[in-house]
Amino acid sequence: MMSCVNRANPTVAEYAVDRIAALGIRHVFGLPGDYSFPINDAIEDHPELKWILSSNELNAAYSADGYARVQGAAILTSTFGVGELSALNGLMGCMAERLPVFHLVGAPSSRIMRARRVMHHSLGDGRYDHFIPIMAAASCAHAVLDPVNALTELERVISTALLERRPAYLLIPEDYARMPVLGTTPEPYSLKSWQPPPSDPRELGAVLRIIRQRLAAARKPLILPSFVLARYGLEDLVSRFLDATGIPFATGVMDKSVLGESHPCYMGSYRGEFSAPDVKAYAEDADLILDFGGLLFDDISTGFSSTHLGREKFISIQPMQVVLGEIGMEIQSYTRSFSPVWIGDVLEGLLSTAEASPPHTIRPSPLPAPNSGNTDGKVTFPSLRTVIQSFLREGDLLVAETGTSSLQLSSILLPKNARYLNQSLWGSIGWATSATLGICLAAPDRRVILVTGDGSHQTTATEIGVMGNYGVKPIILIANNRLFGIEEFLEGNASKEYNKIAPWNYADLPGAMGCTGWLTRVVSTNSELREALDLARSTGSAAYIEVDLGEPLLEPLPPKLLSKEYQTEPPTS
Ligand SMILES: Cc1ncc(C[n+]2csc(CCOP(=O)(O)OP(=O)(O)O)c2C)c(N)n1
Ligand SMILES: [Mg+2]
């Protein structure tokens, strides 16, 4: 007998919702639609799921992205055509940044599609297969579910999404969604009990021998942990390896805070020309570099391609393979690789020998206090960063939007257990506001602080009303420079009309969107900013603080870094 959390003979929609929720997901982001009614009802009737009605599907996808960053996975739902396509950009961000978001979409009934009837949300040509390849491009696995294939297809799609930590697309025609599933229910597993494919013992043994030898011979080893570790929940294992070996680690922008920044082995951030001099000197002189997780040497993480790390020093321990002598995900025909080898097995293997040998003698010197801006008088971007630096507490979650906010905040030093969340690679503006909703719901006991530029915020600000509706309590700082500031900066401070944005009265928005009990403020001095932040912390209320930056003062980028030729150079020596 088939069973699901709430019924004995579940329909396809009920079973799909229940099976994915069993991974450990408690919220669903999205919008309903008539083709999706069976899915919408299955979510509403599920005893362990809460519907979060987003203001549009793009915002829903961003919220699901934020939720998955903390919870490990998320569910998004939308309707055929109009809804799913609106979510596309957000889902592509999840592809790029490796977040398993399960997208459940309702399609017209199979009989309607077979009869090629012309229905709303279609192109009027009687065809219903236009959108599947588009949505499949934003997922690592997809399926069109029916009563016969639902059980097996769901298992295939879930296992691929969890192995790759990327989104999955599930389309359910409305009539099939209402029919009972057929077959024998497989044993469900959760995110916590998920098992990777087994490592090949010979490949694993061989690569462990090589890494141990290289470690024993290294005089100046360095660990560069990747954000990918957090996707698979491997941070603790790596921290134990650091404790046992004392090997220093540095992080790129994309990987900031993947391991605690209060760890004694943390050297700081390595990003080429933009690194602190001692971190740059150590990293570029290191004789062994262990890439834990698979680094992405994108333009931002490499300080506009200004890193100089020798390829031959690299050992890249990726989720299912180890690559020697190559950087990050780039794989050339001449590189040596070992697979299938699960990263967790490699880390466990290294940890067992590390615990038995004396720790490395090289410990990084204590991190100096980060550069501080002048915090008297008017708020500027550097002073905003400094005020936030001293405001942050253990366990806080700091969300930074693409733009000057992330440029500034990526050099903050985080307290214990605090995390920095930013969509560094995909960089779609507006992400941070909607992602904050998902992050708050996934981490109800932590203080979530969002710093967003005004231009980015304007693209997704309707999600403030959704936050009020569900009672989440972030602290939101709108850096109001009346400008797409980062764009001007990258254009050498040219004053372009297209970078000047509409002047909103930000502090009026939460009230207009029905948020009650929110602290709202407009601040222009650092002391006003500190007072507003402290009040928000002490009262525990949601806060929405417009930080009036006046006329923006931006330091132009050095001309060398602005040059496109420079940026196209490979990131290594
Ligand atoms: C969806 C999307 N559209 C356009 C861009 C290009 N873009 C990058 S940053 C930016 C401006 C951000 O302005 P704002 O949020 O005000 O940041 P600040 O002024 O603090 O730099 C734009 C338009 C983008 N990254 N994503
Ligand atoms: Mg701005």
Q: How far is the CA of 310 from the centre of ligand 1 (A)?
A: 34
402-461: pLDDT as tens digits: 999 998 899 899 999 999 999 999 999 999 999 999 999 999 999 999 999 999 999 999
Q: Six-digit token pair at 367?
A: 């991190």
The mean per-residue pLDDT over the stretch 497-501 comes to 93
User: Does the pLDDT value for residue 66 go beyond 80?
Assistant: yes
Q: State how far the Cα of 129 lies from the Cα of 121, in Å rounded to an integer.
A: 12
Least confident of 10-14, 86-90, 355-359, 526-530: 355-359
Q: How far apart are CA 493 and CA 486, in angstroms?
A: 9
Q: Which of 61-65, 109-113, 292-296, 330-334 has the lowest mean pLDDT?
A: 330-334
CA distances from 268 to 118, 344, 510 (A): 59, 25, 37
Residue 181 has pLDDT above 70, yes or no: yes
Q: Give the atom of ligand 1 at the shortest distance from the alpha carbon of 552.
A: 19
**Residue 275 vs residue 206, higher pLDDT:** 206
Mean of pLDDT over the chain:
91
Q: How far is the CA of 275 from the centre of ligand 1 (A)?
A: 24
Across 459-483, average pLDDT: 97
CA angle 321, 326, 331 (to 5 degrees): 65
C-alpha of residue 485 to centroid of ligand 2, in Å: 5
Q: Is the dihedral of CA 479, 481, 484, 485 positive or negative?
A: negative
In this structure, which ligand is nearest to the CA of 402? 1
Ligand 2 centroid from CA 480, angstroms: 6
Query: Of the bound ligands, which one is closest to the alpha carbon of residue 429?
Result: 1
Q: What mean pLDDT do residues 536-553 have?
A: 90
Model confidence at 522: pLDDT above 80: yes
Q: Is 153 helix (H, G, I), strand (E, B) or coil?
A: helix
Name the band, by pLDDT with cuts 50, 70 and 90, for residue 561: low
The pTM of the full predicted model, rounded to 2 decimals, is 0.94
Cα-based distances in Å from 515 to 46, 212, 512, 553:
27, 56, 8, 33
What's the confidence (pLDDT) of residue 298?
Answer: 82
CA dist., res. 167 & res. 118, Å (int): 30
Rounded to 5 degrees, what are φ and ψ at 302?
A: -95, 15
pLDDT at 95 over 90: yes
Residues at CB less than 6 angstroms from ligand 1: 401-405, 427-429, 453-456, 479, 481, 483-487
Closest ligand 1 atom number to CA of residue 452: 15
Index of the ligand 1 atom closest to the CA of residue 459? 1
| 294-311 average pLDDT score | 82
Please check the confidence at residue 20 and state whether its pLDDT lies above 80: yes
**Stretch 121-147: mean pLDDT:** 97
**pLDDT tens digits, 206-249:** 999 999 999 999 999 999 999 999 999 999 999 999 999 999 99
| CA dist list (Å): 73 to 31, 67, 190, 418 | 19, 7, 10, 20
Smallest-distance ligand from the CA of 457: 1
The gap between the terminal CA atoms of the chain, to the nearest Å, is 62
User: Which ligand 1 atom is the nearest neighbour of the CA of 457?
Assistant: 15
